[in-house]
Amino acid sequence: MREADEQAFRDFAVRQAAALRRTAFLFCGDWHTAEDLMQASLLKLYQAWDRVEWRDNPTAYARKVLLRTWLDEKRRPWRRVEQRDGEVPDVADSSADPELTGEKLWARDLVHAALLRVPPRQRAALVLRYFEDLAVSEVAVAMGCTEGTVKSQTARGLAALRVAVEELEEGAVVAS
């Protein structure tokens, strides 16, 4: 790779690493796995950096690579047997907003836990549509499917999320 290209990749990676990790976290629900996914995606992106067709929009390609990497990772046997409970990682919460009430924190964790119960492709559609704020056409590019499929996956994902939230709320009430 030429020096200028390498510098362009370096700038891009530094600029996008945090955003890619955040999206990966919403996909997988674990900051450590999210960091691995981000690194793996950037490694793949480096190998493809000289492909002419993606130079105009490397962010879209990075998003696509991240999604593929996560879906591939989920298909691996040792990931399939792993149980995710959606617990918030035990890290120092230095940037927590003191104005957030306990109720809001509970609601936030509830939605995130519920999101992890939504099937992977529907979850990806929800994250790309409502977290990344992408248009349907952009989500279709990232997911490698038609716009109609994105719409149906999003609708099903929203329905599945609502069901999961209700189930978790009922469980919390029973537990209390």
Alpha carbon 57 to its chain centroid, in Å, reads 19
Structure tokens given for 169? 């709320």
| Residue number, 111 or 135, with CB nearest to other proteins | 111
- Kindly state the number of chain residues that form the binding site for other proteins, as judged by CB under 8 A: 48
Q: Other CB atoms closer than 10 Å to residue 29's CB: what's the count?
A: 20
Amino acid at residue number 61: Y
Kindly state the helix (H) or strand (E) to which residue 127 belongs, with its residue range. none
Tell whether residue 60 is a contact of other proteins (CB under 8 A): no
Q: Considering only residues 37, 42, 66, 125, which one is a binding residue for other proteins as defined by CB under 8 A? A: 42
Tell whether residue 97 is a contact of other proteins (CB under 8 A): yes
**How much of the chain is helix, strand and coil, in % rounded to 5?**
75, 0, 25
Backbone angles phi, psi at 116, to 5 degrees: -70, -10
In whole angstroms, the minimum distance from the beta carbon of 81 to other proteins comes to: 25
Q: Considering only residues 73, 79, 130, 145, which one is a binding residue for other proteins as defined by CB under 8 A? A: 130
Tell whether residue 93 is a contact of other proteins (CB under 8 A): yes
Backbone angles phi, psi at 62, to 5 degrees: -60, -40
| Residue number, 74 or 106, with CB nearest to other proteins | 106
Buried b (16+ CB within 10 A) or exposed e, 123-155: bbbbbbbeebebebebbbbbbeeeeebbeebbe
In whole angstroms, the minimum distance from the beta carbon of 8 to other proteins comes to: 11
In whole angstroms, the minimum distance from the beta carbon of 94 to other proteins comes to: 8
| Residue number, 127 or 143, with CB nearest to other proteins | 127
The residue ranges that bind other proteins (CB under 8 A) are 2, 6, 9-10, 13-14, 17-18, 21-22, 25-26, 31, 35, 39, 42-43, 46-48, 50-53, 88-89, 91, 93, 95-97, 100, 104, 107-109, 111-112, 115, 126-127, 130-131, 133, 158, 161-162, 165
